[in-house]
Amino acid sequence: MTPATNPGATFMARLLRYKWVRTKLRSATRHRTIGFGYLLISLIAVIIGSILSLIMRTHLAWPSWRLPIYGAILPEDYLAFVTMHGTLMLFFVLTVAPQSGFGNLILPAQLGTRHMAFPRMNAAGLWLTALALATLLAAFFAPGGAPIGGWTSYPPLSATPLAGPGEGTGMDLWLASIALFSVATTLSSINMLTTITKLRCEGLTWERLPLTVWGWFTAALLSILAFSVLLAALLLLFCDRHLHSGFFLPAQDLVSGVLLQHRGDGSPLLWLHLFWFFGHPEVYVAILPGIGLTSMVIANFSRRRVFAYRLMIATTLLIGFLGILVWGHHMFVAGLNPFAGTAFSISTIAIAIPAAAKVFSWLATTWGSRPRLTTPMLFALGFVSLFITGGITGPILAQPILDEYLHNTFFVVAHFHLIMAMAGVFGLFCATYYWAPLLFHRTLSEPLGKLHFWTTLLGAYSTFLPMHFTGLAAEPRHYSQLSGLAGPSATLLQSTLPLQRHITASAIFLVCAQLPFFLNLLLAWRRPTNNPADTNPWHATTMEWAPNVLNPHPNDQPPIVYRGPSHYTDSGKEFLPQWSAANTFNTEAE
């Protein structure tokens, strides 16, 4: 058949004759557009998630406070806010922004390629993620409101609408949203892994890859393994809810005074196994890109090579690998076999080894150097600080005997907010300030950036450090009210109220501390763009700063990589970028 008589091809050719169709198709699958799309999704989610956390904090400190328009906050409302805050922040901010957002925006340039391996699959991932967010937010407006089971949705209460408002339609919407999200993340990870495996430019061997790429690579591998298991768990929970099976349900179950009979002898513990097999790798998905970026940014502003570069590649992979083997440490108090608890405890404490190696590498890289304390460098150092303070409580919680007491207290909330939420967000800020010249063609204001950094650091510690103390004083998680309770524990909880008010005030301060950031973005918008000739304002050595890599001209020759990243002279004044063919060092224009 000749092309002229080929109906499918003729139709496509006719359609493509319209310029609008052509440009739309092209831009919708462009990784830069997709990256900004993911960042927009994260921005929406982080704004809603932060508002929810402020409402929860205000309610904890002043229980009689009424939310304007909405009215009094009932315990079930509080639990719904907990669930939605966790789900939005974990999935739609900490998974989407560092991995899919900055991954799409920067990864191809760091690999020296012009496109991703599967642009259409990539675009499908974005739209499915947007659909997942819409589905999740729809749960607020479902009859009964949003689900109240927490972001982990433990059965048996997540399996029946009898468990409370929001566990009917709201819970179904939650399941649908997370299932869509799992598919979307898997698609985006397949694209990312294939791009890293197949589309590295000439000379870019595995050892020469920047540690950011290693972070994205490991996180994508973890996503593929973990989200498939989550999808299976969601399917089984759906069957338990609607098809009368009992995978996660015991034969008999008393919920809200009603005796429920199920077939078989399922166990809620089984859901915990499946969920945390996903859930723990998930937190590494959130933090690994930040770990990689911190290494690169610290090296660049210290003008030093990353200390023990190959070891840092190995520890990234090792953290990922161990991350798959530690899920049981979330289940010490859930009725896990004590022998299994010991095994999980050992594997969890073992993660301290590669994590400590990372910290030592960061310290050794800056040690004795004269780091330029620019805003991205400050956020990278802030990341290190939070990684240590949040991480140090990890080995404490990894011991079953200590976790027994601490697990259901705010101590755990303090731990994961410092190590995952705050460190993750500092990674995102570091990325935004560092890559701003590439993203917006403008450098963000340094004074505003520094104001943003110091206030955020103060707000972060002031909010989350005291939670350790309220936790040690036995403040339980998921309690909507700490005052006016009966029994001897009431006095203990009552005594934490002054600290509660401090935490709430700090949380409000922390949110207000983000105003300089948004002001900075807004002002940058109005400022003229950087000089196009000055493509490398930080004098960085990785490929995304090479001329014409991020915005290549069609006639450009494909770039070639000649060496690994972070080559500087001892004085730090000269540097040797990955793309420079000559062996002579470029001199910094001061």
Partner 1 sequence: MPSTITPPEIDRHRISDGNNGQRPPTDKRTGGNGEGDGENWNNRPRGHRGPHERISQARIGLFFALGGDLMFFVALISVFFVTKASGHFDAYDHFINSWLPTAIPSILWLNTIALLLSSVTAEVARRAMFREVDAMDEWFGLGRPVSYRAAIWLSITLALGILFLAGQWVAWDQLAAQHVFFRSNPSSHFFYLITITHAVHLLLGIAALIVALAALKFSRSLSTRQVFVDTTVWYWHVMGALWIFLFLLLEFGQ
* Secondary structure element (H or E) that encloses residue 574, with its range: strand 574-575
Question: Using the rule CB under 8 A, is 498 a contact of partner 1?
Answer: no
1 or 486: whose CB is closer to partner 1?
1
246 or 471: whose CB is closer to partner 1?
246
* Residue list 559-588, contact with partner 1 (CB under 8 A): 560
99 or 443: whose CB is closer to partner 1?
99
As measured in angstroms, the least distance from the Cβ of 265 to partner 1 is 5
Question: Using the rule CB under 8 A, is 267 a contact of partner 1?
Answer: yes
Closest CA to 52 of 130, 128, 136, 131: 136
Question: Using the rule CB under 8 A, is 389 a contact of partner 1?
Answer: no
| 212-221 core/surface letters (b: 16 or more CB in 10 A; e: else) | bbbbbbbbbb
Question: Using the rule CB under 8 A, is 1 a contact of partner 1?
Answer: yes
Closest CA to 268 of 336, 344, 205, 206: 336
As measured in angstroms, the least distance from the Cβ of 13 to partner 1 is 10
Residues 67, 70, 72: CA angle, nearest 5 degrees: 60
As measured in angstroms, the least distance from the Cβ of 247 to partner 1 is 6
223 or 432: whose CB is closer to partner 1?
223
CB 312 within 8 A of CB 360: no
Position of tokens 């800056």?
366
Contacts of residue 19, Cβ cutoff 8 Å, sequence gap at least 6: none
263 or 478: whose CB is closer to partner 1?
263
337/400 Cα distance (integer angstroms)? 11
277 or 284: whose CB is closer to partner 1?
277
Window contacting partner 1 (CB under 8 A); options: 96-104, 166-174, 261-269, 480-488: 261-269
As measured in angstroms, the least distance from the Cβ of 208 to partner 1 is 14
* Residue list 512-541, contact with partner 1 (CB under 8 A): none
Position of tokens 């799992």?
182
Question: Using the rule CB under 8 A, is 152 a contact of partner 1?
Answer: no
Give strand pairing partners of 259: 254
Window contacting partner 1 (CB under 8 A); options: 110-118, 145-153, 493-501, 517-525: 110-118
**Contact with partner 1 (CB under 8 A) among 170, 210, 246, 449:** 246
82 or 331: whose CB is closer to partner 1?
331
118 or 307: whose CB is closer to partner 1?
118
3 state DSSP class of 172: helix
As measured in angstroms, the least distance from the Cβ of 111 to partner 1 is 9
Window contacting partner 1 (CB under 8 A); options: 6-14, 348-356, 450-458, 522-530: 6-14
Taking the CB of residue 269, how many other CB atoms lie within 10 A of it? 16
Question: Using the rule CB under 8 A, is 143 a contact of partner 1?
Answer: no
As measured in angstroms, the least distance from the Cβ of 558 to partner 1 is 4
DSSP 282-299: HHHHHHHHHHHHHHHHHH
**Contact with partner 1 (CB under 8 A) among 43, 138, 232, 333:** 232
**Contact with partner 1 (CB under 8 A) among 17, 70, 243, 553:** 243
As measured in angstroms, the least distance from the Cβ of 505 to partner 1 is 44
347/322 Cα distance (integer angstroms)? 7
Closest CA to 324 of 421, 227, 217: 227
DSSP 350-386: HTHHHHHHHHHHHHHHHTTS-----HHHHHHHHHHHH
Closest CA to 425 of 373, 375, 363, 380: 380
Window contacting partner 1 (CB under 8 A); options: 246-254, 327-335, 452-460, 492-500: 246-254
244 or 370: whose CB is closer to partner 1?
244
CB 198 within 8 A of CB 117: yes
444/433 Cα distance (integer angstroms)? 6
235 or 353: whose CB is closer to partner 1?
235
Q: What residue type is 300 in one-letter code?
A: N
CB 123 within 8 A of CB 34: yes
245 or 455: whose CB is closer to partner 1?
245
Give strand pairing partners of 575: 568, 586
DSSP 202-261: BT--GGGS-HHHHHHHHHHHHHHHHHHHHHHHHHHHHHHHHS---SSS-SEEEETTEEEE
As measured in angstroms, the least distance from the Cβ of 233 to partner 1 is 7
228 or 385: whose CB is closer to partner 1?
228
CB 58 within 8 A of CB 65: yes
**Contact with partner 1 (CB under 8 A) among 55, 137, 184, 236:** 236
Question: Using the rule CB under 8 A, is 110 a contact of partner 1?
Answer: no
Question: Using the rule CB under 8 A, is 546 a contact of partner 1?
Answer: no
Question: Using the rule CB under 8 A, is 180 a contact of partner 1?
Answer: no
As measured in angstroms, the least distance from the Cβ of 45 to partner 1 is 24
CB 445 within 8 A of CB 524: yes
274 or 448: whose CB is closer to partner 1?
274
Q: What residue type is 22 in one-letter code?
A: R
Question: Using the rule CB under 8 A, is 17 a contact of partner 1?
Answer: no
Q: What's 17's DSSP letter?
A: T
Q: What residue type is 558 in one-letter code?
A: P
As measured in angstroms, the least distance from the Cβ of 264 to partner 1 is 4
* Binding track over 185-224 against partner 1, x by CB under 8 A: -x--xxx-xx--xxxxxx---------------------x
What is the total residue count of the chain?
A: 590
**Residue numbers at the binding site for partner 1 (CB under 8 A):** 1, 3, 6-9, 113-114, 117-118, 121, 186, 189-191, 193-194, 197-202, 224-225, 227-229, 231-233, 235-236, 239, 243-247, 250-251, 263-267, 270, 274, 277, 554, 557-558, 560
